[in-house]
């Protein structure tokens, strides 16, 4: 029998703050977390703005030696996992450790560590390369370090699917729990790409905004004046549990993960398939998996990156999915507020989706001032909106044509 999967804890460090309450306060206030880059010298870069996690101190989560040995993307993952496990009041014991897993992905991994290693090799030679370079740079080490820090001995791996990574992590964690392979899994994503190499690479691909004089207004999904996404960093994880495991330990249940759909565009390395055809198949699959119909969807947390082609394709996919209801269902992009966290985008947006259910508040799309005729849905412009939210679909689409849709539902004991 398939098990029900519920969310019992959440953790996030993001451009809107250092925990989930700060994230939600920023969402409610329709505030932007984007600003001038301070993490590196950006004077010679085309894009000099980003969504940074300001005020973050990894020493609050690990000792000085571990801080030095790990990349920032690992620091952010550990911070998010710490909050998720603390709020869920779950601790590993000899009796349950084997049943608690970790699936935390990253799209890029330790890019700062890689760049530093290349510089050391060139300037000081191979003998000066740190023995900790490999474990600091490889994508799976966020998941590995979280498991070691908290003694979690269940399933452990790292999906890497660009901007769909965090959503893939959550979806796969849910499937493992449904199959009985784990009782609980810490799942999500982490990313720390704000380095000269990271920024220059995306700028060269013409993917990111260069609205340097207006950082707070740079991420503007579905707006006619959008010019690319804003590169951001952060970590976000959810604690997923088998419902019976959660009930047995008296856990507070925040929402239920009921649907997971995934597909491939098989079209282009960066551009979406025409009409959002691949995204549409992922959304339909997620609803079928949930046993729901398009009529059941109350709100869509869109991928909405603020790229010209991507926003149009997602809009077209949503119209096809919802049919006549397309103009009645609110759609918004939280990336308008905190930018694009790449491998952590799907997981932080999953958290926003759960919070929307808990608070009956639909997050806004800020910076929506000039409507694009090809993007003509209800994007909840500029101000959060009260409204009953029972079912949320959260979309994540990545370079390479990776598409994921997750469906969250208000928890009912008898559902």
pLDDT tens by residue, the chain, 415 residues: 579 999 999 999 999 999 999 999 999 999 999 999 999 999 999 999 999 999 999 999 999 999 999 999 999 999 999 999 999 999 999 999 999 999 999 999 999 999 999 999 999 999 999 999 999 999 999 999 999 999 999 999 999 999 999 999 999 999 999 999 999 999 999 999 999 999 999 999 999 999 999 999 999 999 999 999 999 999 999 999 999 999 999 999 999 999 999 999 999 999 999 999 999 999 999 999 999 999 999 999 999 999 999 999 999 999 999 999 999 999 999 999 999 999 999 999 999 999 999 999 999 999 999 999 999 999 999 999 999 999 999 999 999 999 999 999 999 987 6
pTM, two decimal places: 0.97
Q: Which of 349, 239, 388 lies closest to 16, judged by CA?
A: 349
DSSP letters spanning 33-88: --EE--SS--TTSS--EEB--TT--GGGTS-HHHHHHS-HHHHHHHHHHHHHHHHH
Q: State the Cα angle at 160 between 119 and 342, rounded to 5°.
A: 75
List the domain boundaries for the chain: 5-248, 261-409
**What distance in Å separates the CA atoms of residue 397 and residue 107, rounded to the nearest whole number?**
12
The catalytic site residues sit at 163, 303, 340
CB 31 within 8 A of CB 337: yes
CATH 3.40.50.150 fits 261-409, yes or no: no
**What distance in Å separates the CA atoms of residue 203 and residue 410, rounded to the nearest whole number?**
40
CB 352 within 8 A of CB 396: no
Q: Give Cβ neighbours of residue 117 (< 8 Å, ≥ 6 apart).
A: 129, 130, 133, 137
Q: Three-state SS for 362?
A: strand
**What distance in Å separates the CA atoms of residue 90 and residue 87, rounded to the nearest whole number?**
8
CATH code of 5-248, in short, is: 3.40.47.10
């Amino acid at each position: 029998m398939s098990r029900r999967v519920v969310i019992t804890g959440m953790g996030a460090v993001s451009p809107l703050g250092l925990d989930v309450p700060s994230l939600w306060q920023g969402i409610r206030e329709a505030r932007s977390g984007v600003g001038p880059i301070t993490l590196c010298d950006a004077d010679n870069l085309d894009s000099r703005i980003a969504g940074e996690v300001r005020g973050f101190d990894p020493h609050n989560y690990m000792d000085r030696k571990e801080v030095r040995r790990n990349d920032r993307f690992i620091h952010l993952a550990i911070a998010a996992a710490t909050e998720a496990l603390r709020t869920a009041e779950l601790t590993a014991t000899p009796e349950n450790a084997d049943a608690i897993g970790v699936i935390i992905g990253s799209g890029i991994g330790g890019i700062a560590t890689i760049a530093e290693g290349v510089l050391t090799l060139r300037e000081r030679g191979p003998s000066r390369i740190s023995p900790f370079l490999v474990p600091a740079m490889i994508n799976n080490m966020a998941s590995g370090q979280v498991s070691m820090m908290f003694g979690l001995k269940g399933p452990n791996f790292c999906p890497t699917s660009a901007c769909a990574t965090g959503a893939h992590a959550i979806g796969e964690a849910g499937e493992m729990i449904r199959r009985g392979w784990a009782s609980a899994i810490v799942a999500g994503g982490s990313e720390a790409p704000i380095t000269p190499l990271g920024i220059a690479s995306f700028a060269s691909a013409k993917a990111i905004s260069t609205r340097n004089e207006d950082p707070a207004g740079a991420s503007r999904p579905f707006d006619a004046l959008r010019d690319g996404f804003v590169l951001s960093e952060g970590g976000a994880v959810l604690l997923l549990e088998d419902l019976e495991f959660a009930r047995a330990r008296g856990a507070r249940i925040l929402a239920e993960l009921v649907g997971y759909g995934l597909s491939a565009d098989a079209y282009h390395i960066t551009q979406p398939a025409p009409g959002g055809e691949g995204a549409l198949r992922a959304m339909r699959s997620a609803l079928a998996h949930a046993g729901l119909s398009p009529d059941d969807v109350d709100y869509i947390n869109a991928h909405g990156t603020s790229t010209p082609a991507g926003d149009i394709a997602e809009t077209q996919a949503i119209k096809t999915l919802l049919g006549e209801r397309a103009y009645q269902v609110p759609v918004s992009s939280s990336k308008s507020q905190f930018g694009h966290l790449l491998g952590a985008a799907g997981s932080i947006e999953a958290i926003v989706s759960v919070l929307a259910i808990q608070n009956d508040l639909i997050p806004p799309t800020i910076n929506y001032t000039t409507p694009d005729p090809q993007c003509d849905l209800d994007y909840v412009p500029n101000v959060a909106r009260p409204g009953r939210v029972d079912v949320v679909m959260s979309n994540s689409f990545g370079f390479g044509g990776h598409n994921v849709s997750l469906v969250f539902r208000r928890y009912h004991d008898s559902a």
